[in-house]
Amino acid sequence: MAAAKMESWRIADDRYVDAVRWLPSVSPYHAPFMAVGLWDYDRKKTVMELCSIEQDEQSSLPITEVHHSFFLPSRVTEMKTSLLPSGKSMVVASSRTGDISVLLVSEVVGAQSSPTPVICAALHKGEVSGLDLEPSSQDCVTVGEDGKINVVKVTQSQLQPKCLFDNSGLMSFSAVCWASSAEFVTGSVGSTLQWWDQRRPDGPVSQSPAKWANFTGGINCIDVHPSRKHLCVVGGSEGSVYAWDLRWQQAPIPLNGRALQNGRGHILGDSLIGSEVWEVKYDPLLQLAGHMTETGKIPPVMMCSEDGILAVLDSGETFELLSEDCAINTFDIHPESSSNVICGLEFQGFVYLRRST
């Protein structure tokens, strides 16, 4: 059902893909554009590229065409994109040295003179482990292993960083995601989720129960459902993917993991994916297709893992979309046309996936 029909192509690149994100497009007639954070080992540089996916004239296979490229201070840890009311898109990339780089791109990417990124330095001590952009206010929240939470206000002319919370490393954050224009969720190395409100900066508003069933290791990624704000989904070690519903805080719902359990705590058996889950995202494609009827159900979630699997988890079933022979470190679903998916691989580039609705 989930993987009814799809095509996938490998797009080779000799650099290491640290992050890849679609740029929101204004018109559906343009070729899909993406922002890529690459590590060029041979030149010891980090490059951010804005490129489109075009069709090669000879082979009619998808290829990337680079429109702009920039050098960044150090390797990209996380990247997010968002569409501004002015029609421009914003790309924010965080780095291993605690900086973020912000880039404003005008509507038609190819047509303009090269934009210049603005760098906001030393937000964190050590690497920025999580980053998210709020689509309406353009606030950018960053978290780090140093236990800081920063909110950077991005305005047309400048960046205004503000340290919202600092626990001096008593707790290390590993992921963050906005829930509304004031609230966001963080994940910590100790596998705890915390719900924060910008208006109450002295501590988290609520947090997940201390003991999560079978949850070892940390949280690698979080996503909050765009319309059902109380539902967030997290991915962590050993294939664990959990949903956490703010309305039933005490019982995280396992979607995938070493011992997947049913509602009454019975173990359903080993799941397909047992390695690190690097990224999770709600899959809008299947929701569009009318899978939102059941109210108590967790919407379908797409995930990628260290053992090279891209899969959709839906109603207790796992639908494998891709199975690569190396890790899939990052992926993104196109915000407007959700049939387009791009994945960043451990070796040699990307996989471009086009699903049919």
Partner 1 sequence: MLESGSIVPYDGNGNGASQENHSGSLSSGYMVRHGFLRTPRIQISWGTGNHLLVSYLPYSEEQNEAGKIMQVQLGPADEEGQDGLESRRLAASSLSFFIELQSRKRHYADGSLEAGSTSIWWENVLKYSRDISKMLGSSRRPISHYRSDTTKASKTSAIMRAIWDMLEIFYVDKDAEAWFPERLVDWVVTHGPVLSKKDSSLTCKLVDIKWRLATRQFPEEESDYWDGMASALAVGWFDFVVTFLRMHGSYRHDQIDKRQTENGLVEAVAVLVSKMPRLRPSLPAASPGVTYSFKPEFAKEWERWRIQVTKLDRSSFWNECYNQKTIHGLKKLLAILQGNVEVLAGSTSHWLELLTAQYLHVRPFAVATEGLVALASTCKELKRTSTSEELEELILAIFGDNTEVVIAKCVTLFEPWMMAHMIELLTAKSVHVENLLRKERDVHGGISLEELYRLSYAQSLASHPLTWQLAPVYLAACPGQGLGMLQTLVLKLPLEDERGLALKALDLCRIYDLQGIAASICRKVGVHSWKHGRIGAGIVWLQRAGDKRLLSALSDQLLASVSAGSTWGHVQTFEQIQGLVELLGMEFQATDGLSILHRYRNFKSAMQNIWDLRSKDADRQKLNGAGRQAVDCLFELLKTGITPKRLWISILHDTVELLEWPAQVLLNAGETNTLLNSLQDLRLTKLWNGVDNLELSGPNVDRVRLALATNLGRSFLQT
Q: Which of 210, 250, 265, 295 binds partner 1 (CB under 8 A)?
A: 210
CB-nearer residue toward partner 1: 318 or 329 = 329
Residues 29-48 that bind partner 1 (CB under 8 A): 41-42, 44-47
Q: Does 61 bind partner 1 (CB under 8 A)?
A: yes
Which tokens hold the place of 294?
A: 């059941």
Q: Which of 25, 89, 220, 340 binds partner 1 (CB under 8 A)?
A: 220
CB-nearer residue toward partner 1: 71 or 248 = 71
CB-nearer residue toward partner 1: 248 or 347 = 347
Q: Is 259 helix (H, G, I), strand (E, B) or coil?
A: coil
Q: Does 74 bind partner 1 (CB under 8 A)?
A: yes
CB-nearer residue toward partner 1: 207 or 337 = 207
Which tokens hold the place of 177?
A: 């995601």
Are 130 and 184 spatial neighbours (Cβ–Cβ below 8 Å)?
no
Are 131 and 169 spatial neighbours (Cβ–Cβ below 8 Å)?
no
Q: Which of 26, 87, 76, 25 is nearest to 49 (CA)?
A: 76
Q: How far is the CB of 71 from partner 1 (least distance, A)?
A: 3
Q: Which of 216, 227, 262, 357 binds partner 1 (CB under 8 A)?
A: 216
Measured over all CA atoms, what is the biggest interatomic distance in the chain, rounded to whole angstroms? 59
Residues 116-155 that bind partner 1 (CB under 8 A): 116-123, 125-127, 129, 145-147, 150, 152
CB-nearer residue toward partner 1: 81 or 174 = 174
Q: Which of 78, 99, 279, 314 binds partner 1 (CB under 8 A)?
A: 99
Q: Does 272 bind partner 1 (CB under 8 A)?
A: no
Q: Does 214 bind partner 1 (CB under 8 A)?
A: no
Q: Which of 250, 178, 170 is nearest to 208 (CA)?
A: 250
DSSP string, 192-237: -EEEEETTBTTS-SEE--S--TT--S-EEEEEE-SS-TTEEEEEEG
H/E stretch holding 287: helix 284-288
Are 178 and 224 spatial neighbours (Cβ–Cβ below 8 Å)?
yes
CB-nearer residue toward partner 1: 2 or 123 = 123
Q: Does 63 bind partner 1 (CB under 8 A)?
A: yes
Q: Does 271 bind partner 1 (CB under 8 A)?
A: no
Task: Give the single-character DSSP code of 42.
Answer: T
Residue 143 burial (10 A CB sphere; 0-12, 13-18, 19+): buried
Q: Does 174 bind partner 1 (CB under 8 A)?
A: yes
The residue to which tokens 């990417």 are assigned? 109
Instruction: Please work out the total of residues on this chain that contact partner 1, with binding judged by CB under 8 A.
Output: 85
Q: Does 240 bind partner 1 (CB under 8 A)?
A: no
Q: Which of 134, 238, 279, 283 binds partner 1 (CB under 8 A)?
A: 238
Q: Which of 25, 64, 82, 198 binds partner 1 (CB under 8 A)?
A: 64
Beta strands across the sheet bearing 159-166: 128-133, 139-144, 148-154, 159-166
CB-nearer residue toward partner 1: 47 or 105 = 47
Q: Which of 172, 186, 271, 340 binds partner 1 (CB under 8 A)?
A: 172
Residues 306-345 that bind partner 1 (CB under 8 A): 306-307, 325-327, 329
Say how far apart CA 96 and CA 74 lie, in whole Å: 6
Q: What is the CA radius of gyration of the chain?
A: 19
Select from 85-93, 210-218, 286-294, 314-322 the region that touches partner 1 (CB under 8 A): 210-218
Which tokens hold the place of 78?
A: 């996380």
